[in-house]
Chains A and B, each alone.
Chain A
Amino acid sequence: MKACKDYEDLLPLYVSGDLSSTDHNKVNEHLKECKECRDYQLSLSAITAVMERDVVEMSPSYGAELVVALNRRLDRRSTWQKRLLWTIPAFATAMAVVVITVISLIKTEPAGNQWIAEMDRERDYLNFTDAGYFGEILVNDSDISNGDTDLSTDDLYRGAVYHIVGNPQISDVDSYLLATANLDDEDFEKVIEQLKYEIL
């Protein structure tokens, strides 16, 4: 004899029509004599009925528009990649010089200089961009020089994590997150915590 709790576990699959015929019949028998489970089943059926009825409205030209948009993006991507290859080493050298200059400037200039604050921020970006985030941050990120001053370290770190986690263009993080696709959300949060720790 099964308890109501056991039937409750079978009801979602009963409603979706995915039980074996033996189990289906057992549930049917129980539903005849148990109002509580019957109510439960009706609620679940109401939910799945709404979902099954739902139709996504789509413009009939969406497919064609999508093809055009994709081809445009793919064309652009190939020229972009070439440009990035040129940009990265050149900028890396320039930044190394700038960072050294900034460090020597900090000794003489009082803190709070907006430009220095910005450079500090960029230098921090550089420190964790070894793994290939570098070029894309340089080219795409408009936040870098948004003129924010007096950022606390914490704000900076948050900004950095935000940038990495929030930027869909950063493929390394994509693969990191992708590798976690089978984790529970709770474990995933641990990964984010770890990501935060490792990157910063």
Chain B
Amino acid sequence: MSKGSEKEKDNLKPDNVRQYNADSFNRLVLENQEKIYSLFRRMVSSHDEADDLTQETFIKVYKNLSKFRRESAPFTWIYRIAVNTGINYLRRQKARQYIGLDSVDLKSGDDVIYDSELTNSLLQKAIKKLSSKQQMVIILRSYQGLPFKEVANIMDSTENAAKVNFSHALKNLKSVLENMGVSYESM
């Protein structure tokens, strides 16, 4: 009922945030877990990593509930925390490779396949070669199917900047795939 959902929204107003109890946190988790998990599942290669990042996101949500202002929908706010967590994670990985503690996959030959069909697993490999922001915008727009207005809110940018970012990302993705030897003929 609409009356019920209005009441839920009231609970998220700053005045009432302190009363935000475990039940409403749990509900927030249940309502958003699918979106957040699938966002991460598209960013990392294992369930365990995606699960870790999902948990990390909701722990941050919990810790920051009192800071949440209803300038945006809870969904946007949670997504934003998730995107920052994700960008952070990608950058940690990069930083660790950068300082030489994680082995970098130097055998780039592994990635080169000839005249291969474009599959999702190949695409995910290619996406990893983009900058973290470009990865995010591609995931949010094309995989998660969010409109640019929402993507911009989540990534804290303008709609136009998000579109420009997406255009570059998709064009880069195309050339990465071509370098990997993907052919589109079979599509």
| Interface set of A (CB-CB < 8 Å, partner B) | 8-9, 12-13, 15-16, 18, 40, 42-44, 46-54, 56, 58, 62-64, 66-67, 69-71, 73-74, 77, 158, 161-162, 165-166, 168, 174, 177-178, 180-182, 184-185, 188-189, 192, 196
- Interface membership of B150, Cβ < 8 A: no
A10 CB, min distance to chain B CBs, angstroms:
8
Closest to A46 in B: B187
| A162 cross-chain contacts in B, Cβ below 8 A | 96, 99, 101
Beyond A44-B174, A48-B170, whether A67 also contacts B29 by CB under 8 A is yes
A sample of 21 cross-chain residue pairs with beta-carbon separation below 8 angstroms, ordered by A number, consists of A9-B167, A12-B166, A16-B141, A47-B170, A48-B170, A50-B119, A51-B120, A52-B143, A56-B38, A58-B37, A63-B34, A66-B33, A66-B51, A66-B54, A66-B55, A67-B29, A161-B99, A166-B101, A177-B91, A182-B156, A192-B95
- Interface membership of B179, Cβ < 8 A: no
A159 CB, min distance to chain B CBs, angstroms:
8
| A74 cross-chain contacts in B, Cβ below 8 A | 59, 62
B168 CB, min distance to chain A CBs, angstroms:
8
| B91 cross-chain contacts in A, Cβ below 8 A | 177, 180, 185, 188
The secondary-structure label for the interface of chain B is helix
Q: Which residues in window 48-103 of B have CB below 8 A to A? A: 51, 54-56, 58-59, 62, 84, 87-88, 91-92, 94-96, 98-101
A52 near B142: Cβ-Cβ < 8 Å:
yes
| B148 cross-chain contacts in A, Cβ below 8 A | 18
- The 7 A-B pairs of least Cβ separation, nearest first, read A56-B38, A12-B170, A51-B142, A12-B167, A46-B187, A185-B131, A162-B101
Q: Which residues in window 162-187 of B have CB below 8 A to A? A: 163, 166-167, 169-171, 173-174, 177, 184, 187
Contact partner of A66 among B29, B38, B87, CB < 8 A?
B29
A162 CB, min distance to chain B CBs, angstroms:
4
Given known contacts A188-B94, A192-B98, what 16 new A-B pairs fall within 8 Å (CB)?
Answer: A9-B167, A12-B170, A16-B166, A47-B174, A48-B142, A50-B120, A51-B143, A56-B42, A63-B29, A63-B30, A63-B34, A66-B55, A67-B29, A158-B99, A161-B99, A188-B91
A158 near B156: Cβ-Cβ < 8 Å:
no
| B138 cross-chain contacts in A, Cβ below 8 A | 51
The secondary-structure label for the interface of chain A is helix
B64 CB, min distance to chain A CBs, angstroms:
12
B15 CB, min distance to chain A CBs, angstroms:
23
User: Mask for B22-58, Cβ within 8 A of A = 1, else 0?
Assistant: 1000100110011001100110000000010011101
Beyond A12-B166, A74-B62, whether A177 also contacts B88 by CB under 8 A is yes
A114 CB, min distance to chain B CBs, angstroms:
22
- Interface membership of B145, Cβ < 8 A: yes
| A188 cross-chain contacts in B, Cβ below 8 A | 91, 94
| B37 cross-chain contacts in A, Cβ below 8 A | 56, 58, 62, 66
C-alpha spacing A46/B178, complex, angstroms: 13
B120 near A71: Cβ-Cβ < 8 Å:
no
A47 near B177: Cβ-Cβ < 8 Å:
yes
